[in-house]
């Protein structure tokens, strides 16, 4: 008799493409009135009336964006959904629908892909998003995940990257650098395991950092809190590639400069501890690490009284004129130009 954890796995070829689609999408329930037709036709049908439709797409490729040595498939599915949801949050919008396309190599069983899909569906259920379609294909090697998300926003509430103005206050949600420290821990233990498979991973007490890397959350609650308090950011972006890259995006597209204060950057105590363990300055982890999926945004000075007592929002600097440049003010008062050091898919990344 086969034990439960040693059960025979089902090759996807046993179902075929349409059988796989039927298996993965059975039981999906639509929850948004704007979804007229979801899975099952040549295209989904949506009705947004007088609102703006937001659309964003992300592509995740095995061994480029994720490593299955230490990434559980359910976590991967959840994260793949979240990174797209975060893009809608960064526009001040509400996510509504999602499509998922997969390219799957023969090394993956049906049960493995169901686990991946379970993570995607968990994120959709949590954030009230309709899964309305997608595509599947064979892959010569590895796994490729492509997700497209649609959201909605009232025309007078949409927030862009290019609308920051001199004098605006720069804010971030949450804390920064934790996801990068989680990645370094996982990579370290992977190398230890490869050299000695008998070694047990040394990850005890590091749950927060691992969760920030493997299972991030979009900051929709913070968006709703701003809206509830009558605060509309003047510009906004999510922090996927590091604080440095994102503030440069806002400044370049808005035609402004910025000053960010090192001692104002919010850092979790565990992030600081592990950064020191790796001989990395904590501020560098925040500036260049990426994958925090926090929100970086600017507000008018006259909104300061509305936000100053709200939990989970930290002012880290202000917008200056373009000619002043984009600078980090160190703890010693020294001003250093900020350069983008975050993830670039077409460059060598450490």
Instruction: State the pLDDT at residue 15.
Output: 85
Query: Cα(234)–Cα(162) distance, rounded to whole angstroms?
Result: 9
Position 232 in a domain: yes
> Could you tell me which of 180, 167, 166 has the C-alpha nearest to residue 212?
180
pLDDT band at 311 (very low <50, low <70, confident <90, very high): very high
Tens digits of residue pLDDT in 226-245:
999 999 999 999 999 999 99
Query: Cα(109)–Cα(14) distance, rounded to whole angstroms?
Result: 10
DSSP secondary structure letters along 261-286: EGGGS---HHHHHHHHHTT--HHHHH
Mean pLDDT computed over 312-326: 97
Same domain, 146 and 25: yes
How far from chain centre, in Å, is Cα 10?
31
Query: Which of 153, 188, 212 is the endpoint of a domain?
Result: 153
The pTM score is 0.89
Mean pLDDT computed over 99-119: 96
Instruction: State the pLDDT at residue 248.
Output: 96
Residue 176, domain extent: 169-337
Position 225 in a domain: yes
Position 202 in a domain: yes
How far from chain centre, in Å, is Cα 64?
16
State yes or no: pLDDT of 2 exceeds 50. Answer: no
The answer to whether residues 254 and 163 touch, using CB atoms and an 8 Å cutoff, is yes
**CATH code where residue 305 lies:** 3.90.650.10
**CATH code where residue 125 lies:** 3.30.1330.10
pLDDT band at 130 (very low <50, low <70, confident <90, very high): very high
State yes or no: pLDDT of 278 exceeds 80. Answer: yes
- Sheet with strand 94-104: strands edge to edge: 52-61, 143-153, 94-104, 130-138
Same domain, 179 and 252: yes
127-152 per-residue burial string, b: 16 or more CB within 10 A, e: under 16: bebbbbbbebeebeebbbbbbbbbbb
- Phi-psi sector, 106: left (phi>0), alpha (psi -120 to 50), beta: alpha
Position 161 in a domain: no
The answer to whether residues 326 and 247 touch, using CB atoms and an 8 Å cutoff, is yes
Query: Cα(304)–Cα(348) distance, rounded to whole angstroms?
Result: 41
DSSP bridge pairs for 131? 98
Tens digits of residue pLDDT in 173-208:
999 999 999 999 999 999 887 888 777 777 889 999
The CA angle 163-157-261, to the nearest 5 degrees, is 45
What total of structural domains would you count in the chain? 2
**End-to-end Cα spacing for the chain:** 47
Position 350 in a domain: no
């Amino acid at each position: 008799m086969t034990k439960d954890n040693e059960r025979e796995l089902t090759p996807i070829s046993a179902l075929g493409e349409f059988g796989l689609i039927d298996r993965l999408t059975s039981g999906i329930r639509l929850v948004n009135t704007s979804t007229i037709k979801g899975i099952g036709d040549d295209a989904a049908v949506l009705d947004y009336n007088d609102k703006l439709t937001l659309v964003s797409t992300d592509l995740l490729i095995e061994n480029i964006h994720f490593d299955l040595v230490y990434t559980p498939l359910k976590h991967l599915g959840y994260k793949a959904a979240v990174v797209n949801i975060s893009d809608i949050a960064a526009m001040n919008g509400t996510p509504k629908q999602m499509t998922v396309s997969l390219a799957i190599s023969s090394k993956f069983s049906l049960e493995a892909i169901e686990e991946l899909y379970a993570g995607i569906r968990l994120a959709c259920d949590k954030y009230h998003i309709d899964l309305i379609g997608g595509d599947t294909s064979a892959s010569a090697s590895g796994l490729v995940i492509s997700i497209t998300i649609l959201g909605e926003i009232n025309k007078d509430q949409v927030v862009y990257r290019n609308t920051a103005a001199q004098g605006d206050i720069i804010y971030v949600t949450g804390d920064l650098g934790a996801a990068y420290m989680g990645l370094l821990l996982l990579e370290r233990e992977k190398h230890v395991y490869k050299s000695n498979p008998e070694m047990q991973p040394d990850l005890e007490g590091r749950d927060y950092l691992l969760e920030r890397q493997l299972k991030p959350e979009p900051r929709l609650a913070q968006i709703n809190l701003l809206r509830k308090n009558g605060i509309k950011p003047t510009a906004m972006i999510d922090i996927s590639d590091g604080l440095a890259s994102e503030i440069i995006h806002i400044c370049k597209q808005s035609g402004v400069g910025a000053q960010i204060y090192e001692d104002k950057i919010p850092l979790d105590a565990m992030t600081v501890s592990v950064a020191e363990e790796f001989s990395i300055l904590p501020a560098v982890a925040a500036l260049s690490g990426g994958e925090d999926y926090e929100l970086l945004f600017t507000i008018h000075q006259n909104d300061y009284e509305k936000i100053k007592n709200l939990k989970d929002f930290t002012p880290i600097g202000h917008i200056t004129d373009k000619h002043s440049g984009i600078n980090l003010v160190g703890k010693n008062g020294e001003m250093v130009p900020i350069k983008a050091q975050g993830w670039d898919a077409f460059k060598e990344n450490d």
